[in-house]
Amino acid sequence: MDPALTWIAAVIVIVLVGVGLLAWRAATRQGEASAAVTRLAESAEKLTVTQSVLADRLQQTQAVVNERLDAITKRLGDGLTEHSERTGERLKALHERLAVIDAAQKNITDLSQQMVGLQDILSNKQSRGAFGQMRLEDLVRDALPAAAYAFEVTLSNARRVDCLIRLPNPPGSIAIDSKFPLEAYRALQQARDDAERVQAGRAFAADVITHIRDIAEKYIVPGETAEWAVMFVPSEAIYAEAHARFESVIAEAYRRHVAIVSPSTLMATLHTVRAILKDAQMKQQANLIQAEVAKMLNDVRLLDDRVDKLAKHFDQTARDIEGIATSSKAITRRGDRILDVQLGGEEEKAALPAAQAT
């Protein structure tokens, strides 16, 4: 055989074998592709189901999330509203407290100014006297009726007293002095050591005792005023200091019949005075009542006499009425007798009442 033909035949065989292999491979691949497509379709179907399930779960999750977000939003809104209300209330309370603090600060400022003014007043002797007189007048006016007191009264010894409480005898009118020695007391308060304090205390006691003696000499007038006079000290501190540390001053005041009073003790004294005035007024009214009762008893006696006379008149009238009744009965009996008299015929008897009627 020709080698070329052999070669060609071999090539043809090889080509046929290759074509067969290619055909077999293509068939194999086509089967695999069909299987792959089937698997892809199944996977797509599963993916669709999974996607639907995931969509449902996502929708449910979204609804739950929305509900929770709404609840959280509502809670946050309620919390913010409540917090805003509380904050508003706290701010309002804070404003009110600030207003109170401002008012208190203003009062403190005013009080400081008043204290400064009071110190200025007390530093001047004339102003101090006017201040004590003013406090005394206020207390007396508040406690007693207008007819029971008088201010700036000149006594028979030509001394002018700050206030005179009018009381019946006994005890008589009570004189009240409203001046007080302050310089020595201020020195006592400002003492820096024991030596200055002792010296200031002696000066204070001496000033107060001198003032007590002046009051006793000027304002205790026998037959005109009471046996006691009153020294008004318009400071509780001075009053307490005198009673706590200066027994000699209190003893001298008691010996001189001068009562030292502060605003509080003066008020108690004035209440006692008012009770005395009320008792005196009640006694006076009792005397008036007794006089009126005596007059009323006299009127009752006169009324009894007049009632007796009227009773006698009534008795006489009753007797007269009885006499009139007796006469009337007698007249009636006589008339009956006249009617019973037989005057004649029946016609005359019938005509007799008609004639009597006319």
* Residue carrying structure tokens 């007191």: 149
Residue 191 makes CB contacts below 8 A (sequence gap 6+) with 197, 199, 200
- Pick the range with the lowest mean pLDDT from 147-151, 188-192, 286-290: 286-290
Examine the pLDDT at 358 and tell me if it is beyond 50: no
**CA atoms of 248 and 330, how far apart (whole Å):** 109
Q: Given this structure, which CATH class describes domain 113-285?
A: alpha beta
Tell me the mean pLDDT in the region 282-288: 68
Give the domain ranges of the chain. 113-285
Residue 167 makes CB contacts below 8 A (sequence gap 6+) with 148, 173, 174, 226, 273, 276, 277, 280
User: What is the predicted pLDDT for the residue at 96?
Assistant: 83
Predicted TM-score of the model (pTM): 0.47
114-166 pLDDT, tens per residue?
544 445 444 555 555 566 788 888 888 888 888 888 998 888 998 999 899 88
194-245 pLDDT, tens per residue?
888 888 888 888 888 999 999 999 999 988 888 889 999 888 888 888 888 8
234-278 pLDDT, tens per residue?
888 888 888 888 888 899 999 999 999 988 888 888 888 888 777
Examine the pLDDT at 174 and tell me if it is beyond 80: yes
**CA atoms of 319 and 327, how far apart (whole Å):** 12
| Closest by CA position to 281, among listed 172, 167, 151 | 167
* Residue carrying structure tokens 């006694």: 283
